[in-house]
Amino acid sequence: MTTMAAASPLRASQVWYKILYIQVLIAILIGAVLGCLWPSVATNDWVKALGDGFIKLIKMVIAPIIFCTVASGIAHIQDAKKVGSVGVKALFYFEIVSSFALLLGLVMGNLVRIGHGLAVKPDAAAVANYVKQAEASKSVDFILNIIPDSVVGAFARGDVLQVLLFAILFGFSLMALGKRGERLRGMIDDVAHAAFGVIAIIMKAAPIGAFGAMAFTVGKFGPGALGNLIGLIALFYVTAALFVSVVLGLIARLVGFSIFKFLVYIKDEILIVLGTSSSESALPQLMEKLERLGCSKPVVGLVVPTGYSFNLDGTNIYMTLATLFIAQALGVDLTFGQQLTILLVAMLTSKGASGVTGAGFITLAATLSVVNPALVPGMAIVFSIDKFMSEVRALTNIIGNGIACVFVSWWEGELDHATLQSRLNQPKVSTTSDTTSTTR
């Protein structure tokens, strides 16, 4: 405690341009300017590679971090029933909150009928690839795909759900070993610390990745690409903001903290997601910050990775809004029963969608093909602006998963309220620079 208190003044007087989130924010602004003024330069393959490369660097260590965190977290629990308790509570929370997200999107889509009068001719060929991928999103296939053909293959592909399944089984196996498994548990913990060290190194390149991703996006699509679709983008942004401030805000208040202070606490991760359009790019750092916020390691290890497949609030809002928008634009009147079907189908198709850019568009294809196949060609209407909405999808997803972890920790009685208040009231203490000192 003395060391941290002594270190705080140094952080408070830290040179502003050395702070990560400021570097990322500046990089995003520079990238946007480059995309507007020199689109030919911004759309260069090498500029695009800056953003893609950063995301690949992050994804490179996601599988081992999830495995180590989940397996170690379960192995350190003495009672197997506690793992089941956390899992059941997390899944119950996910379904309730996801339902609110879907309903909010449906209500806003009906109140603000922004799709009417949109004169856009859909091009089915533009979305053929997404529709093809959506055909593999049936519920049965999704369940079977959770089981990997081989453990090595799951790690090689970086399939989060498959790695999560193996990690849970491995964790229970370590738990059963008792004292004989202590040495192996220690090794897994050391590997996790080393992996987070790799993340700390990679995060230094976050401004470069954010610059490349933003420059390419604005340069390729540009303000003119939005056209009449700006209304849908604005409606989606407003709906997502309402969900975060009202729904998640009430959940945060129930636990005993402010949603806005929490957003300030994870500002680094928010800006990284904003620049890369991928919530996975901030997953490891989010898990680490939640532990330092007072959430127990087992809860963080189970809730956050699971939430990336089962608690995609932003994707849920997007699917109901986009489905109604496409139906309105094509002049297809959806009955009340069909709109209820959207809720049920979207609840299933959203499961397993990762935080990678484009996953929301694939789940939209799966939803439309079930609700009304006549709507599938209309996906081309929102195809050109999907990139502009993917940022908000990813932002809402990561904020929702952070709140979910804190809530389940509180529900399970595993939340350190003193640490929570201390961190939220002193957000500068939780910057990336003090990762090493606070995780030991």
CA distance 41 to 398: 31
Per-chain mean pLDDT for the chain? 75
Q: Which two tokens stand for residue 407?
A: 């809530």
Chain segment 18-35, per-residue pLDDT in tens: 777 677 778 878 887 888
CA distance 187 to 184: 5
Residue with tokens 């090794």: 187
What Å distances lie between residue 406 and 82, 332, 393, 414, 425, CA to CA? 17, 42, 20, 9, 16
List alpha helices for 282-385, DSSP H. Answer: 283-292, 297-310, 313-329, 336-349, 359-371, 379-383
CA distance 177 to 186: 13
User: Out of 158-167, 205-214, 362-371, which region has the weakest mean confidence (pLDDT)?
Assistant: 362-371
Query: Do 309 and 279 contact (CB within 8 A), yes or no?
Result: no
**What mean pLDDT do residues 195-213 have?**
80
Query: Do 437 and 193 contact (CB within 8 A), yes or no?
Result: no
- The pLDDT, as a whole number, for residue 386 is 65
Is the pLDDT confidence value at 385 over 50?
yes
What Å distances lie between residue 119 and 123, 365, 384, CA to CA? 13, 21, 15
Q: Side-chain half-sphere of 269: how many Cα atoms within 13 Å? A: 30
What burial class does residue 311 get, using C-beta atoms within 10 Å of its C-beta: 0-12 exposed, 13-18 middle, 19+ buried?
buried
More confident residue, 314 or 129: 314
| Phi-psi sector, 335: left (phi>0), alpha (psi -120 to 50), beta | beta
- The pLDDT, as a whole number, for residue 124 is 54
**What mean pLDDT do residues 273-291 have?**
78
415 beta partners: 295
Domains of the chain: 2-439 (1.10.3860.10)
CA distance 383 to 27: 26
What does residue 21 show for φ and ψ, rounded to 5 degrees? -65, -30
Q: What is the DSSP letter of 248?
A: I
- The one-letter amino acid code at 430 reads S
Furthest CA-CA distance within the chain? 69
Sign, Cα dihedral of 93, 95, 100, 104: positive
DSSP codes joined into one string, 168-184: HHHHHHHHHHGGGGHHH
CB atoms within 10 A of CB 202: 18
**What mean pLDDT do residues 369-374 have?**
68
- The pLDDT, as a whole number, for residue 359 is 55
Q: Side-chain half-sphere of 211: how many Cα atoms within 13 Å? A: 16
Query: Do 218 and 31 contact (CB within 8 A), yes or no?
Result: yes
Is the pLDDT confidence value at 433 over 50?
no
295 beta partners: 415
List alpha helices for 76-157, DSSP H. Answer: 80-111, 128-134, 139-145, 151-157
CA distance 353 to 319: 12
164 contact partners, CB below 8 Å, separation of at least 6: 66, 70, 305, 306, 309
Chain segment 232-278, per-residue pLDDT in tens: 788 888 999 999 999 999 999 999 899 999 999 988 888 878 766 66
Q: What pTM was estimated for this model as a whole?
A: 0.65
Q: For the chain, how big is the Rg over CA atoms in Å? A: 22
Count, in order, helices (H) and strands (E) of the chain: 24, 0
What does residue 114 show for φ and ψ, rounded to 5 degrees? -70, -15
